[in-house]
Structure 1
Amino acid sequence: MSPDVRERTVDSSRSAILEAAARCFHERGYAATSIDDVARALNSTKGRIYHHFESKADLFADVFRTGMEMNYAALEPLRKLDGPADRRWVLFARVHVNQMIATRAFQRVVWMGVEMHQTGAPTREQTSRYEDLIETRSRYGDIFRELISKARDEGRFHFPNLSIANQLMFMTLNSPIFWYSPRTGETRADIEDLIAQVVTCAWRGLGATEGLKNDA
């Protein structure tokens, strides 16, 4: 096997483990999920997982990291766009909500990781690891924070406290990870309508000066 093929095989195996782990953590929570559970979800052995990850904590952290990498990658094509900040925010918000739906299990793990960090990780090594992950998440949040701040400066959004507005905005945009579940016969048009409704709620919460158009 050539080095390139071997590398692709390793990456594919690792990705499959992360997908299975994300589903397990999402469905069961961190404490109730074991490496055995992930192995069963893969129809594989624990050895396959331990070949890539030293522990459950290591696996969980990598699911968290992967969820954030997915979000950054989804936003990247929009980062250089010009125009009024509020219109750019709409595009960013729609992409973000789509991520909350399309990669919901990974995003729920991100949320769990934040909670675990706030309550205190059990070891010094895990504390350091989560601090790095939280910092990555904070930098992602700053992308939106800067947009809504600029939109307020431009007179398009109206809110008194930037930090509070940013937190409340993300509570709305992130909300599908808690209540969304796919429906039988659901179409892409249905998903787009759901995304539009969530973004509109956040838009209004930011005190927008005009209605939100579907073609924004």
Structure 2
Amino acid sequence: MPKKTSAPQPAATKALVSPWASVSGRAQQREAKRHAVLQAAAQLFNERGFHATSLDDIAARLNVSKPTLYYYVKSKDQILLECVRQGLQMMLEGIEETRNAGGKAIDQLMTCMSIYARIVTMDFGMCLIRVSDEELPTESRKELRRLKSDIDMEFRRLVAEAVSQGSIKECDPKMTAFLIAGALSWIGRWYQPAGEYQPEDIAAQFISTLRNGILPR
């Protein structure tokens, strides 16, 4: 009987690597580029002001053409809204994490103050402080004021709880929350990244003064 021979096996096919990113990869790349647009815009708004910054300026900082920006944002108003919303969202997330971690109200309050002071030295936080609500469309203004109100109410709650726990002397939680937010917000007005003070030092000094006052004991 003739000897059987096995059929030749096909050569192993090398897996094709697509030059196109996966759907999730494209989404991540788009989001990263959109974030870069917003951050560049926030920096320019902080440096020059909203009205003195054009879409051409933002495109130039990113080394892209102006039409490229429209793939990620619709208008300069939308960019401003997103920048300010980012700053507020960072604050709200930090406050939420502090609340979930638990602990005494005074410790939560000090942590929230530190978070607030740190964020207003960042691009989106500074944009939130330096750009007036009046420069936003009416509907956007309402939304952002609601988010700001959420932060204010959280500070009031912590102050009231700290008073009830005996960690803070009797005070008006509303006025005290205004004092804290006003003092910390002002950091975003004068802070310069190239200045002599680091954000951590600024936060520590402001919080110490707010906590201990300025008169000797």
Identity percentage over the alignment? Answer: 26
Name the CA distance, whole Å, in 2 between partners of 1:203 and 1:48: 48
| Paired residue total | 194
Q: TM-score, normalised by structure 2?
A: 0.80
Q: Which has the larger radius of gyration?
A: 2
Greater alpha carbon shift after TM alignment, 70-79 vs 56-65: 70-79
The Cα of 1:46 is off from its aligned counterpart by 1.0
CA RMSD of aligned residues (A): 2.2
TM-score by length of 1: 0.80
User: Residues 76 and 162 from structure 1, CA distance in 2 versus in 1: closer, same or farther, beyond 3 angstroms?
Assistant: closer
2:128 aligns to what?
110
Aligned partner of 1:53 among 53, 68, 73: 73
Letter paired with 1:79: R
Distance 1:193 1:72, change over 3 A: same
* Match in the other structure for 1:72: 92
Q: In structure 2, what is the equivalent of residue 214 of structure 1?
A: none
2-side partners of 1:158 and 1:30: how far apart? Answer: 41
User: C-alpha displacement at 1:142, in angstroms?
Assistant: 1.6
2:201 pairs with 1:193: yes
Gaps of 5+ in 2: 1-20
- Note if contact 1:172-1:201 (Cα within 8 Å) is conserved in structure 2: no
Summarize the Cα distance change of 1:73–1:84 in structure 2 as closer, same or farther, 3 Å threshold. Answer: closer
Do structure 1's residue 11 and structure 2's residue 28 form an aligned pair? no
Task: Provide the C-alpha distance between the structure 2 equivalents of 1:73 and 1:88, rounded to a whole number of angstroms.
Answer: 14
Structure 1: tracts of 5 or more residues without a match: 206-210, 212-216
Change (3 A) 1:116 1:184: closer
Greater helix fraction, Structure 1 or Structure 2: 1
Say if 2:87 and 2:119, in contact at 8 Å, map to a contact too.
no
- Aligned 1:1-216 pairs, distance under 5 A: 1-101=21-121, 103=122, 105-113=123-131, 115-117=132-134, 121=136, 126-158=137-169, 160-183=171-194, 190-204=198-212
**Paired amino acid for 1:19:** Q
